Structure 1
Amino acid sequence: MDFGQHVLSAGKAVLDMMEREWQPLSAGELDFRLDQAMEEILESELVGKIETQPSPAVYIQLLQSKASPAPQVSPTAAAFSGLTEEGRTTEDQEETADSEAVQCISELLQRSKSRDRLAGRAHLSLSHTVLLSLSLLSEQVSYRSVSRRFQLEKGNIHRIFFSFCERISSLKEEQIRWPLGEEAAEALFPFSSLVEIKDQDEGHGLPHVLGVLGHTRIPIRLPIEKHDPERVGPAEKRMKEGQSDSWLNLELVCSHRGQFLHCRVSKSSDVDRGRTLSDRLKQNHELMPLGSFLVARAGYPLTAQILTPYTGEKGPKQELFNQTLEEHCRILDQAVSSLKARFKRLTYLDIGNYDRAGTVVLTACVLHNVFLQMGHEVEGESETANLLTAQNEDGEEDEEGVQRRNEVAELLLMNAHSGGA
């Protein structure tokens, strides 16, 4: 009896397997395979046409015309071009900006240590992949919209974009570097022109700033299990209400040129406020040239390496110091504004995965430095409110930091009263 049941069960298993192997494709599977076939045909035609074009300018133009069925302004030109030249038309400027951007990023990817092929359809050109990814970063558009523009299946667009971001973000150590040695000396700038002019005659050591420390918030889509039905709303509202992990913290240190020297991406619940960086600077003295420091707004730790403003009751010395420090903090304001103006997808990341969202943010930071090196600058509206950490809260203070701040403040006040300007 038991033997007969085993034979019956085995027979049914074989029948089920045969049915699965021979049954016709479902409607969804059929549509997907048709999409794949169409993609391969379109991409083969695209590559064939590109290979016959010797000119890089024509090459980029062909990519754009194939990617955009209807005439439209190129998406990346406005985001990556901050330069204007007399005698050139807007179209010429856009084509040049697009060509330089695509060529520069393509070369970076080719030189990168990772030799893994970018995800996506076979034969998809590297330049086409870069142009597609820059379009997604520079615009607040859906994958469906980009899918129609580039005539690729939506799921493939998704894979291409995140593969691109993983490769670019892996260049962080190369493109976002803490300056050392001669590079650090060149990055220094005076805390105040008053102190610099007075002390050059007397030969005293001058306080110099290496960079500006601060942070901004990048709103993201919460994972499904994190949603609170009663609190779901616009990203700005959720950030203001402080909903748990509804944004990413982006901690930055920028140079006087707005170039990022340090960046750290974390969940909103991970409130570090510069402690990790502060400990690193204390333990590695070679990271800070002699007589230099970082400046930051209130809420960050006050140390010999990081100076923050005075809080509470303030006299003339404290007011002058705070005013001078705030002028430097506006450098970071502008750098973050430029970052978000160039990469509009950071206005709201519709990504429910923290790791992937962080990779996209890091990609934008790496490309920010790349385009600054190219001379492509973009100005955006200041967002000082988002850069404040805790303006009404005092950060941690150590004795060395308190003493260093008082010394700099005294020197600043003394030179102001002596007419050093």
Structure 2
Amino acid sequence: DDEEEILLYELFRRNKIRSNLIEPLTLQYQTSELSKSQVDNEMWVNQFCAEEFLSHFRMNTDCFNLLVQFIAEDGRLIHGYRGGFEPIRLEKKIQIAIWFLAHEESMLKIGDRFGVTKSTVYSNLIEFCKVMHSQFIRWPERESCEEISNKFKEISGMPGVIGAIDCTHIPVKVPKVRQENYTGRSLHHSVVLQGVCTAGKLFTNVSIGQHEERQKILINSWLNKATTVEGTTKLFYQKYYLVGDSNYTCKDWLIVPFKDNGTLSLEQKKFNYNLNQTHMVVKSAFRLLKGRWKRLQYLNLGNILNASKIIMACCALHNFCLNNQVPELEEDLAVDSPCEHDFLSESELSDDVQGFTKRQSIMASL
């Protein structure tokens, strides 16, 4: 597998150099040849027309240039010359990382495309994801909540909504240790991504959990901890809330449908319909996320920590593209993998009276 081969290659290369099996002249020749190869392997990207660039990199050239500018200002991906091979240009580093996220090709094939080794693809990817990890995903400030709420209200009349919350599975390669933590009832291996998004499909909060923690992902999330410790005022400003599906439990800041036990009133059925219509936006966001960044269809990484960094980077890039009006392509919509219906346990995250009261009040307003 990719990670093991990369480690073996690095060990082999270092041992060879230490044993003086590679003559300095040969190293100099290889450096010269690689520099020429790097130039040759960059020409094909420059020859893309606008449509081809958008199709392959999931963003247009203007958006890509903005991303390069942002990462250049951050500075963490820029390394000075330290001898040996010439450092890779920043634009090329970003192209390599985005190509990996946008396609399902192996690291070996991507390395061949860009004239670099598999280990360079991998190390460059992780560096890029670390930079993107905490960027472009922001909880809304009070000043922007009214506009966000109005956009949600346009969907089905639900007042005060500032986010739709749900979760999805990201298939991963089974790790060598604690495999049961990432195995669901279907025996597929995955991590769980929980996301909150606006009516415009922008993520405002994301959390990643293991399979064994899927009943605890909301409890362990920043969202729940912040509301538990500091109350709902800090995040929901005493008037706003999220909408979730029936896998969640009802809170004053998280409104879910009435449980359908066969005795729902017409008013309750109408409320459930309106809430479900409002909630659908987060499912659309997940489909766009997985369709645009196709690597999320299956992450062939046994290192769960690095897999989580890649997922977070994809969520950040998702927002970056939406903020810069990158058009959606037909191929950008994927089939989602929703979580099992036992996602949250009522014994661990129980309904509260304030949630029931607020739901009744919202239903009356409709």
TM-score band (shorter)?
0.7 to 0.9
Aligned equivalents of 2:156 and 2:68: distance in 1?
45
What stretches of structure 2 of length at least 5 have no aligned partner? 1-15
Q: Return the index of the structure with the highest Cα Rg.
A: 1
Contact 1:121-1:156 within 8 A present in 2 as well: no
TM-score (norm: length of structure 1): 0.69
Aligned with residue 88 of structure 2, among 124, 147, 150: 124
Match of 1:91 in 2: none
Aligned with residue 127 of structure 2, among 163, 166, 176: 163
Secondary structure at 2:140's aligned position in 1?
coil
Match of 1:274 in 2: 218
Tell me the alpha carbon deviations over residues 55-110 of structure 1, each in whole angstroms, 9 at most, x when there is no partner.
xxxxxxx8342799xx999975215558xxxxxxxxxxxxxx2x224312211111
Aligned equivalents of 1:156 and 1:149: distance in 2?
13
Match of 1:336 in 2: 286
Contact 2:162-2:241 within 8 A present in 1 as well: yes
Residue 132 of structure 1 and its aligned partner are, at CA, apart by 1.1
Aligned equivalents of 2:53 and 2:254: distance in 1?
37
Aligned equivalents of 1:261 and 1:150: distance in 2?
34
Spell out the pairing of 1:299-318 with structure 2 (5 A cutoff).
Answer: 299-313=247-261, 314-318=264-268
Tell me the alpha carbon deviations over residues 97-148 of structure 1, each in whole angstroms, 9 at most, x when there is no partner.
2x22431221111122747639995331101111111111100000111111
Aligned with residue 286 of structure 1, among 231, 234, 237: 234
Match of 2:35 in 1: 43
Contact 1:321-1:409 within 8 A present in 2 as well: yes
Match of 2:7 in 1: none
Residue 340 of structure 1 and its aligned partner are, at CA, apart by 0.7
Aligned equivalents of 1:371 and 1:78: distance in 2?
13
Match of 1:241 in 2: 186
Aligned equivalents of 2:79 and 2:199: distance in 1?
37
Residue 270 of structure 1 and its aligned partner are, at CA, apart by 1.8
Residue 181 of structure 1 and its aligned partner are, at CA, apart by 2.3
> Could you tell me which amino acid in structure 2 is paired with residue 278 of structure 1?
N
Aligned equivalents of 1:226 and 1:162: distance in 2?
23
Match of 1:217 in 2: 169
State which drifts further: 183-192 or 212-221: 183-192
Match of 1:112 in 2: 74
Contact 2:184-2:211 within 8 A present in 1 as well: no
Match of 2:201 in 1: 258
What stretches of structure 1 of length at least 5 have no aligned partner? 1-19, 50-61, 83-96, 197-205, 229-234, 413-421
Residue 241 of structure 1 and its aligned partner are, at CA, apart by 1.6
Tell me the alpha carbon deviations over residues 182-214 of structure 1, each in whole angstroms, 9 at most, x when there is no partner.
122222236656996xxxxxxxxx831101011
Distance 1:402 1:21, change over 3 A: closer
| Identity over aligned pairs, percent | 19
Distance 1:274 1:166, change over 3 A: same
Contact 2:57-2:99 within 8 A present in 1 as well: no
Contact 1:208-1:291 within 8 A present in 2 as well: yes
Match of 1:408 in 2: 362
Say whether 1:322 aligns with 2:267: no
Match of 1:188 in 2: 149
Secondary structure at 2:166's aligned position in 1?
strand
Aligned with residue 138 of structure 1, among 98, 102, 114: 102
Residue 393 of structure 1 and its aligned partner are, at CA, apart by 7.0
Residue 287 of structure 1 and its aligned partner are, at CA, apart by 1.4
Aligned equivalents of 1:23 and 1:390: distance in 2?
57
TM-score (norm: length of structure 2): 0.79
Secondary structure at 2:338's aligned position in 1?
helix
Tell me the alpha carbon deviations over residues 377-402 of structure 1, each in whole angstroms, 9 at most, x when there is no partner.
42544646515654897662000001
